[in-house]
Every structure is written in structure tokens, then in C-alpha cells.
């Protein structure tokens, strides 16, 4: 059964733990005048996700479906949600829409330019184009400006059935999981390019209060320092891969 926790005002973490992978898959519902679901979860999660969303709102009233990049855990059940909520629409960047979603989805996506703000009621979500951070040409993140919540996708990935939100640093947890990936057939999970450091610097300068993490605990506190610490982790583990 999915676990639901409010990690920021009207921002709900819906977590599904998969023991076989020792990994949490976290989706985030932002409840507002035009509700937004960030990350749909795998297609296999749809029924469980639907039941979880029902505890927070009528899922038929969902308006926006966002995600970072084209991958099954990000948008695998996108079409299921589009069918369930006839007034809903995927929201993504230009590359995501042009290359993937406008062919894959049952109706066209709403395209945002880098830095453009989506006003969903009380909350304002700024779209940030972050190519290959965490991965994928189409990658982007959303930043809720009022409460300063950054939806981080895979940036702070760490394994385990961990607490919903913490004020303890995530950097060393992330380091351990990243090293594990690099020593496995899943090596290359996070690419590191000449642009990676600049993108992480720009994210840190947002000074987020909450980091909504897709795999593992979310974080509450000094988000700028957490992202700066993540920059150092990625440099130390991945920088030899710079092209």
C-alpha cells in the first residue's frame, strides 16, 4: 500500500516501496485549484496510485501531469491518467514534448520554456530545463516558488525503505547508492558533463526549503547547502567521466 505524507503545504509524497529492489518510488501530488501530479510512477503502479490520490482529491479533477524526463517511473502511466482525468494535460519542456510526449501521449502536452511559470492557483511552478541532469536530453525540474519546494527527480537518489522526510543531510546516502550503481550493470545512471556543475550551481541558488526526492527521503532545511554537497559527491564519483 502506498504511503502518503505531506512534506510541504499541500505537497504530498506518495511512496511505493519495492522490496525486491530495496527502493522507494515517490510521486508528488500538489493540491491546488489546478492540481498537479509530478511523476506518475510505473504503469504497474497505476491502480495503487489512483487509490492513494483518491484519499487526497478526486483524481478525475487532476489538471496537470509533470515529470522530469521520459522514463517509465517518471511518466509510464501518463496515458492512464490522461484517460482518467479528461481535463488533464502533460506539462513538459520543448524537447520532452517535441521528441517524446506529443507522439507517446493520447493528447498533446503543454510546453513550457525554460524559466516559464505555471500558475496552478496558490502555487507557482517554475520550469527549469536541466539537460542530462539527472539524465536525458529532455530533463527538466519544477520549482514551487511560494514555499520554495524543488521537485528533484533522481538527483538525490538513495536506496532503502527510509523516512518520508528528514533534516539530516542526504549527501552520503546519495554517494553510497551512486557508487553502488557505478559498480553494477546500471553504471552510467547519472552522466557528468561540462555543463553539470553549472546546472547544479543554478539549482542551489534557488535556496529551496524542501527537496522532493523521487527515490528515498525528501529533505527539509538548507536546500542550497544540500545541492552544493551533491555537486561535490557527483564530482568525486563521476567527474572522471567528463567528455
Per-residue confidence (pLDDT) for residue 157, from 0 to 100: 98
Helix (H, G, I), strand (E, B) or coil at 140: strand
Question: How far is Cα 113 from Cα 128, in angstroms, rounded to an integer?
Answer: 8
Q: Does residue 222 have a pLDDT over 50?
A: yes
In sign, the C-alpha dihedral spanning 217, 142, 3, 73 is: negative
Q: Any idea of the CA torsion for 119, 125, 130, 136, to the nearest 10 degrees? A: -80
Structural contact between residues 49 and 14, judged by C-beta atoms closer than 8 angstroms: yes
The CATH code belonging to domain 3-241 is 3.60.15.10
Q: Does residue 237 have a pLDDT over 70?
A: yes
Every domain of the chain and the residues it spans: 3-241
Q: Does residue 241 have a pLDDT over 90?
A: no
Per-residue confidence (pLDDT) for residue 242, from 0 to 100: 45
Q: Which of 106, 183, 104 is nearest to 138 (CA)?
A: 104
Per-residue confidence (pLDDT) for residue 202, from 0 to 100: 99
Determine what percent of the chain is predicted with pLDDT higher than 70. Answer: 98
**Confidence band, pLDDT 50/70/90 cuts, at residue 239:** confident
Per-residue confidence (pLDDT) for residue 119, from 0 to 100: 99
Per-residue confidence (pLDDT) for residue 240, from 0 to 100: 63
Per-residue confidence (pLDDT) for residue 243, from 0 to 100: 42
Mean pLDDT of 19-26: 98
Average pLDDT taken over every residue of the chain: 97
**Confidence band, pLDDT 50/70/90 cuts, at residue 218:** very high
Question: How far is Cα 56 from Cα 53, in angstroms, rounded to an integer?
Answer: 5
Residue 12 grid cell = 504530498
Q: List, for residues 150-193, the tens digit of each pLDDT value.
A: 999 999 999 999 999 999 999 999 999 999 999 999 999 999 99
Q: List, for residues 49-82, the tens digit of each pLDDT value.
A: 999 999 999 999 999 999 999 999 999 999 999 9
Amino acid at each position: 500500500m502506498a504511503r502518503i505524507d505531506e512534506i510541504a503545504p499541500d505537497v504530498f509524497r506518495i511512496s511505493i516501496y519495492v522490496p525486491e529492489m530495496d527502493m522507494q518510488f515517490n510521486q508528488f501530488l500538489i493540491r491546488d485549484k489546478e492540481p498537479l501530479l509530478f511523476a506518475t510512477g510505473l504503469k504497474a503502479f497505476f491502480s495503487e496510485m489512483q487509490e492513494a490520490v483518491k484519499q487526497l482529491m478526486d483524481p478525475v479533477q487532476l489538471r496537470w501531469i509533470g515529470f522530469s524526463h521520459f522514463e517509465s517511473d517518471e511518466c509510464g502511466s501518463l496515458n492512464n491518467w490522461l484517460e482518467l482525468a479528461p481535463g488533464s494535460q502533460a506539462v513538459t519542456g520543448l524537447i520532452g514534448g517535441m521528441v517524446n510526449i506529443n507522439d507517446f501521449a493520447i493528447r498533446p502536452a503543454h510546453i513550457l520554456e525554460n524559466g516559464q511559470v505555471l500558475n496552478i492557483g496558490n502555487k507557482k511552478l517554475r520550469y527549469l530545463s536541466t539537460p542530462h541532469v539527472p539524465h536525458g536530453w529532455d530533463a527538466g525540474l519544477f520549482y514551487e516558488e511560494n514555499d520554495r519546494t524543488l521537485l528533484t527527480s533522481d538527483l538525490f537518489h538513495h536506496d532503502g525503505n527510509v523516512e518520508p522526510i528528514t533534516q539530516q543531510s542526504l549527501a552520503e546516502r546519495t554517494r553510497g547508492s551512486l557508487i553502488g550503481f557505478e559498480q553494477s550493470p546500471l553504471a552510467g545512471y547519472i552522466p557528468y558533463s561540462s555543463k553539470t556543475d553549472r546546472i547544479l550551481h543554478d539549482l542551489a541558488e534557488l535556496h529551496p526549503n524542501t527537496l522532493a526526492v523521487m527515490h528515498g527521503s525528501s529533505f527539509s532545511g538548507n536546500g542550497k547547502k544540500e545541492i552544493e554537497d551533491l555537486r561535490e559527491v557527483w564530482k568525486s564519483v563521476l567527474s572522471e567521466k567528463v567528455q
